[in-house]
């Protein structure tokens, strides 16, 4: 570890132990119960974020009118690209102008930042590597397909590629430590963007073929054996079907792929995918570790997730951190703290569940920023203890009276309570985004049911959503929209449950300010809560039982 990184870690440990010292740690992840939280300036942090489009931060002037719109839209965090091509236009000559502009303007607009390192790969391709890399394919070799044709994308099977990227990323992190090590405007780093081989199941360059026909590395075999009972089912089954071998070539250990191009869930080229996942993980893990040695803040990978289209290869890049190869990534890239889905798809809730496994915290760096996205933001922080939510293209969509801005405004009121309850089993959420009429969850000693359409709104574009926080044996804080909330006893089915008191209100500075006391027509059937379809609102309810 770099001596300054060691000093930073030492500082964290010192301040954590010395309670009387002012807390001034660099951003890091910390366990709270079952949740892994992002801690910023000594306190858990919830990123109500948005991702800028790819080219936006390449011009400070272009960004000028956008910054205030982001703040007005109640974002607290912006995901912004930093590109290798602009940062190292000539080898070894670094230009941090674009980064410095982002930091200066973010601070002036009261925003925190997550930087996206567009290095060797962006969406599976190599388009952000500098021209001196692009044009020297002898020194910086490319992926080849089965016919031996170069695919225009840098190969993982090259120390030169990896080391050039690592040097640049380390320089960026060294710079960030110097200019932001005490201010903490930058919270996390995304390393590369949606990696994986496109248009082929794996790299077929001579070096890749040699590795594919050689032994599975001992480090990976050791990891699989140590975690044999916790592996994702697809990898476990492939390994089991091939006889749980502890050594051998990739096809000996994981079997020969059986190709079914028409079944999107068939994991047809699984062995090739495991092979590429390992090689991307090793490469990206090396880049991330080089950066962390300079400035040790959390680092994550985003994923072009598997999609419901046939005709693979081509449906998604092979080797990215998909949930079914999560173990391979954990084994190969320990410096990567979070594996993330870029989730623009309709089955958002399934993907969140698939990524929130094996100790992987949930952060969604790309999603939709419409009313559905806003509902997902609320749902995932409550149901999955998420670190944050970030719709893509926020520079285009941010406004003061959008579904997202209204949701973010209300979530930010409740953020201290949400963060307090993450990981301790006292918070959950429901979103009815698949057309179902209702869903019930148990929280504390009650079952909480969310029913669609308090005002008969359509569920496809305006999904009912509710976040529940249990604040006492009979007490709940509920943030919701477009839903009716019904209660039954989870401990004694013969009990009837009724409303003792219901208040609507707001939080200001973490303090509850009650508004109307709700009863009568505002509490349907005198036993439920009604949340309208226009806005996110907050209600406090106290329940009682009768026989």
Q: Which residues bind ligand DGJ (CB under 6 A)?
A: 54, 123, 193-194, 342, 366, 392
Please give the full DSSP string across 342-371, using - where no structure is assigned. Answer: E--SS-HHHHHHHHS-TTPPPEESB---SH
The sign one gets for the Cα dihedral 340, 233, 217, 207 is negative
Neighbours of 261 (CB within 10 A): 14
- Strand blocks (E) in 205-353: 299-304, 338-342
The rounded distance, in Å, linking the Cα atoms of 139 and 176 is 29
Smallest gap from residue 347 Cβ to ligand DGJ (A): 17
CB nearer ligand DGJ, residue 44 or residue 317: 317
Q: Can you tell me whether residue 176 is helix, strand or coil?
A: helix
Joined together, the tokens standing for residue 519 give: 């009863």
CA distances from 349 to 200, 207, 432 (A): 29, 39, 10
Please compute, for residue 136, the number of CA atoms within 13 A of its CA located in the half-sphere on the CB side: 11
Smallest gap from residue 236 Cβ to ligand DGJ (A): 29
Neighbours of 180 (CB within 10 A): 23
Element containing residue 440 per DSSP (H, E): strand 438-443
**Beta strand pairing call for 475-481 and 47-51:** unpaired
| Contact by Cβ (8 Å): 142, 153 | yes
Please give the full DSSP string across 211-238, using - where no structure is assigned. Answer: HHTSBPPHHHHHHHHHTGGGS-HHHHHH
The rounded distance, in Å, linking the Cα atoms of 141 and 131 is 14
Smallest gap from residue 365 Cβ to ligand DGJ (A): 8
Q: For 451-517, what is the HEC assignment?
A: EECCCCCCCCCCCCEEEEEEEECCEEEEEEECEEEEEEECCCCCCEEEEEEEEEEEEECCEEEEEEE
Element containing residue 265 per DSSP (H, E): none
Smallest gap from residue 74 Cβ to ligand DGJ (A): 23
Neighbours of 353 (CB within 10 A): 14
Q: Which residue is nearest to ligand DGJ (CB)?
A: 194
């Amino acid at each position: 570890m770099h001596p300054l990184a060691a000093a930073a870690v030492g500082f964290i440990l010192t301040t954590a132990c010395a309670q009387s010292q002012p807390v001034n740690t660099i951003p890091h992840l910390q366990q709270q119960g079952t949740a892994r939280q992002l801690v910023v300036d000594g306190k858990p942090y919830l990123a109500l974020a948005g991702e800028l489009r790819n080219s936006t931060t390449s011009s400070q002037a272009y960004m000028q009118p956008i910054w205030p719109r982001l703040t007005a839209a109640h974002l607290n965090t912006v995901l912004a690209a930093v590109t290798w091509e602009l940062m190292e236009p000539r080898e070894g000559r670094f230009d941090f102008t674009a980064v410095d502009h982002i930091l200066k303007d973010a601070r002036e607009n009261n925003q925190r930042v997550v930087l996206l390192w567009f290095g060797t790969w962006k969406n599976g391709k190599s388009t952000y590597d500098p021209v001196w890399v692009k044009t020297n394919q002898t020194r910086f070799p490319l992926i080849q397909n089965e016919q031996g044709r170069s695919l225009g994308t840098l190969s993982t099977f090259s120390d030169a590629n990896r080391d050039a990227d690592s040097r640049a990323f380390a320089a960026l992190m060294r710079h960030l430590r110097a200019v932001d090590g005490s201010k903490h405007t930058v919270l996390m780093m995304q390393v590369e963007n949606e990696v994986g081989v496109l248009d082929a199941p794996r790299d077929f360059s001579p070096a890749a073929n040699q590795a594919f026909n050689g032994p599975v590395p001992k480090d990976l075999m050791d990891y699989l054996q140590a975690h044999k009972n916790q592996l994702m089912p697809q990898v476990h089954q492939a390994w089991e079907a091939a006889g749980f071998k502890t050594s051998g070539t990739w096809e000996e250990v994981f079997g020969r792929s059986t190709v079914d191009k028409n079944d999107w869930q068939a994991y047809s080229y699984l062995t090739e995918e495991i092979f590429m996942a390992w090689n991307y993980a090793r490469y990206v893990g090396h880049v991330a570790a080089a950066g962390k040695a300079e400035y040790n803040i959390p680092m994550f990978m985003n994923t072009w997730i598997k999609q419901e289209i046939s005709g693979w290869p081509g449906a998604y890049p092979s080797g990215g951190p998909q949930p079914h190869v999560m173990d391979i990534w954990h084994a190969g890239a320990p410096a990567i703290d979070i594996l993330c889905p870029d989730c623009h798809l309709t089955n958002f809730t399934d993907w969140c569940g698939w990524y929130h496994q094996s100790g992987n915290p949930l952060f969604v760096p790309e999603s939709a920023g419409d009313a559905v996205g806003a509902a997902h933001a609320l749902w995932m922080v409550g149901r999955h203890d998420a670190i944050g939510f970030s719709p893509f293209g926020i520079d285009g969509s941010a406004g003061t009276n959008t579904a997202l801005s209204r949701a973010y405004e209300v979530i930010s009121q409740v953020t201290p309570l949400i963060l307090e309850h993450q990981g301790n089993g006292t918070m959950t959420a429901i979103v009815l985004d698949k057309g179902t009429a209702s869903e019930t969850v148990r929280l504390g000693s009650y079952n909480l049911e969310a029913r669609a359409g308090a005002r008969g709104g359509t569920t496809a574009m305006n999904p009912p959503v509710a976040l529940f926080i249990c604040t006492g044996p009979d007490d709940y804080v509920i943030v919701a929209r477009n839903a009716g909330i019904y209660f039954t006893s989870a401990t004694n089915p013969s009990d009837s449950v009724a409303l003792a008191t219901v208040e609507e209100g707001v939080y200001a500075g973490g303090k509850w300010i009650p508004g109307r006391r709700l009863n009568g027509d505002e509490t349907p059937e005198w036993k439920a809560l009604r949340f309208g379809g226009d806005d996110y609102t907050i209600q406090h309810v106290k329940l009682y039982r009768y026989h």
